[in-house]
Amino acid sequence: MNECEPLVLKLKCHRGSSWDMTMNKKMITASLLIMVSSVALSQVSEKEAGRLGNELTAIGALASKNASGSIPAYTGGLAYDESVDPLKNIYQNERALFVITNKNLGQYKQNLTQGQLALFAKYPQTYQMPVYKTHRTSAYPQGVYKKAKQNATTAKLVDGGNGMINFIETVPFAIPKNGIEVIWNHVSRFRGGSIERNAAQIPVQSNGEYRAIKVRSQLTAPQYLKDGYSAVKDDNVLFYYTQAIKSPARLTGNVLLVHETIDQVNQPRMAWSYNAGQRRVRRAPQVAYDAPAPATEGLRTSDQLDMFNGAPDRYDWKLMGKKEIYIPYNSYKLADPNLKYRDIVSAGHINQDHTRYELHRVWKVEATLKEGARHVYAKRTFYVDEDSWQIAIADHYDNRGELWRVSEGHALQFVNANTPWYVSTTNYDLFSGRYIVELNNEERDPFKFGVQVKRKHFTAAAIRRQGKR
């Protein structure tokens, strides 16, 4: 007997009164909801988890090459070496296999996103994509792989996917069954444990003019706090984050503090801001969803930091399967410290001569705004790299269904920290011709991994002190 048969039998037994019929309908509805809910919350079996490290990589990517061999088999990624400069271009002697332009665009459409095609249409004379040999360089520490396998058989979604339980630190769903599990893998992926970054957020006008906003940010997972993880204080915390503005003068000293929660519907993200002009710390509940991100001139929403972050509850998430797409990868040229920002920033889009695209398998996830929910993006499409769980490309649609903004995450493998991460992100506004790009080329110490900080560093008192420096 299958599990649906008792419902059928109950229906046959209760044909008397209207009360019986009503109660029967309620029982059937409730049972069906339980069944649906259990499917949504289910984890994979031990047998299925056994695929990890075999035909699947340790975190769930297909280990084999693709049919044509243009995507090679995974062989472990780049080896960890803390003594190596991670920004040194190990592929500097490689030349592009080909360059996609408007003249040959038709040959490659099947491996491009709608956002990429829109950029070619918007900038037919200048936009191009240099495509290089594919290298599957992504790698993580052994501890991440161990946790991913453990999570595969224990981690569950709760509250309709808005949170997780039985989850350890990173990669909860190495073998995802739906779109929201893929997104949770991105949101919770390993980022080196504790990192300090010095970068420039650069809002660019349609004519190419810009003024860089210098930012120092710090992100630390609670497991990497100097004073250790607390089961009481850190139970629902994914990471702690600060962002301090260093220039221009009118913004210098403004600091944002975020305690990123795992279940943001049950316990919303906790955020505070220090305004240097007012010398006051205030709660900042608006730092979420589609609120304009600080110091971006309205070109990026709060949940677009790191390509996507925060609560997923305003969208229905649909897994569209895997595709082979040309995505930014091994972006050493773009991270070259010998480049100046003026070498990269141009009208309409960054100078694509400094970019590198490779063919990789990605998970495609569509997010559609729920009925009654509010967000400036009515639909979003995410392309998530299978080897790292990082979002590589995101297309954002307005409430009329028109493609509005296109985001790209230019990443490489930081071998000194055994983690892949972005060296630059871009967000292009197709309507205005403006965009924002995050760069590090002119900054001293752009990436510091393994930063030792205590929990008290991520308090309202601490950001007040940071802002006064």
Same domain, residue pair 27 and 160: no
Q: How many domains does the chain have?
A: 2
Q: Bigger pLDDT: 281 or 468?
A: 281
Residues 6 or more apart whose Cβ sits within 8 Å of residue 376: 290, 301, 398, 399
Distance of alpha carbon 8 from alpha carbon 82, whole angstroms = 63
Instruction: Give the confidence band of 266 by pLDDT, cuts at 50, 70, 90.
Output: confident
Distance of alpha carbon 10 from alpha carbon 18, whole angstroms = 15
pLDDT the model gives residue 74: 98
In a domain, 68, yes or no: no
pLDDT the model gives residue 359: 98
Is pLDDT of 7 > 90? no
In a domain, 407, yes or no: yes
Per-residue CA distances from 228 to 33, 233, 453 (Å): 40, 11, 10
Same domain, residue pair 253 and 376: yes
In a domain, 48, yes or no: no
pLDDT the model gives residue 442: 97
Which of 417, 424, 425 shows the shortest CA–CA distance to 85? Answer: 417
In a domain, 411, yes or no: yes
- The predicted-structure confidence for 293-344, as pLDDT tens digits, reads as follows 988 999 999 999 999 999 999 999 999 999 999 999 999 999 999 999 999 9
Distance of alpha carbon 463 from alpha carbon 453, whole angstroms = 13
pTM, two decimal places: 0.90
Distance of alpha carbon 161 from alpha carbon 61, whole angstroms = 22
pLDDT the model gives residue 225: 96
In a domain, 252, yes or no: yes
* Residues 83 and 89: beta-carbon distance below 8 Å: no
- Average per-residue pLDDT for the chain: 90
Count the neighbouring beta carbons within 10 Å of the beta carbon of residue 211: 12
Q: Bigger pLDDT: 151 or 31?
A: 151
H/E run at residue 23: helix 18-41
Count the neighbouring beta carbons within 10 Å of the beta carbon of residue 273: 21
pLDDT the model gives residue 58: 98
Instruction: Give the confidence band of 277 by pLDDT, cuts at 50, 70, 90.
Output: confident
Q: Are strands 194-204 and 447-449 parallel, antiparallel or unpaired?
A: antiparallel
CATH of the domain at 259: 2.50.20.10
In a domain, 178, yes or no: yes
Residues 6 or more apart whose Cβ sits within 8 Å of residue 102: 120, 124, 125, 127
pLDDT the model gives residue 465: 84
Is pLDDT of 6 > 50? no
In a domain, 217, yes or no: yes
Instruction: Give the confidence band of 28 by pLDDT, cuts at 50, 70, 90.
Output: very low
pLDDT the model gives residue 457: 94
Distance of alpha carbon 334 from alpha carbon 344, whole angstroms = 8
Instruction: Give the confidence band of 17 by pLDDT, cuts at 50, 70, 90.
Output: very low
Same domain, residue pair 406 and 289: yes
136 three-state secondary structure: coil
Provide the domain limits for residue 455: 142-468
The tokens 């050493």 sit on which residue? 332
In a domain, 49, yes or no: no
- Given its phi and psi angles, is residue 421 left (phi above 0), alpha (psi -120 to 50 degrees) or beta? beta
Distance of alpha carbon 299 from alpha carbon 288, whole angstroms = 15
Is pLDDT of 227 > 70? yes
* Residues 429 and 299: beta-carbon distance below 8 Å: yes
Is pLDDT of 42 > 80? no
Per-residue CA distances from 46 to 49, 51, 175 (Å): 5, 9, 12
Output helix, strand, coil percentages for the chain, rounded to the nearest 5. 20, 30, 50
* Residues 450 and 220: beta-carbon distance below 8 Å: no
Give the lowest-confidence range in 14-23, 321-330, 382-391: 14-23
- The predicted-structure confidence for 52-95, as pLDDT tens digits, reads as follows 999 999 999 999 999 999 999 999 999 999 999 999 999 999 99
Distance of alpha carbon 360 from alpha carbon 377, whole angstroms = 26
- The predicted-structure confidence for 159-204, as pLDDT tens digits, reads as follows 889 888 898 999 999 999 999 999 999 999 999 999 999 999 999 9
Amino acid at 98: F
What percentage of the chain carries pLDDT values higher than 70?
91
Instruction: Give the confidence band of 263 by pLDDT, cuts at 50, 70, 90.
Output: confident
H/E run at residue 25: helix 18-41
The tokens 């390993």 sit on which residue? 190
Cα angle value 316/319/321 (rounded, 5°): 165
Instruction: Give the confidence band of 26 by pLDDT, cuts at 50, 70, 90.
Output: very low
- The predicted-structure confidence for 99-149, as pLDDT tens digits, reads as follows 999 999 999 999 999 999 999 999 999 999 999 999 999 999 999 999 999
pLDDT the model gives residue 43: 84
* Residues 287 and 256: beta-carbon distance below 8 Å: yes
Q: How many residues does the chain have?
A: 469
pLDDT the model gives residue 13: 33
H/E run at residue 321: strand 315-328
What percentage of the chain carries pLDDT values higher than 90?
79
Mean pLDDT of 216-222: 96
pLDDT the model gives residue 33: 39
Instruction: Give the confidence band of 268 by pLDDT, cuts at 50, 70, 90.
Output: confident
H/E run at residue 35: helix 18-41
Q: Bigger pLDDT: 30 or 382?
A: 382
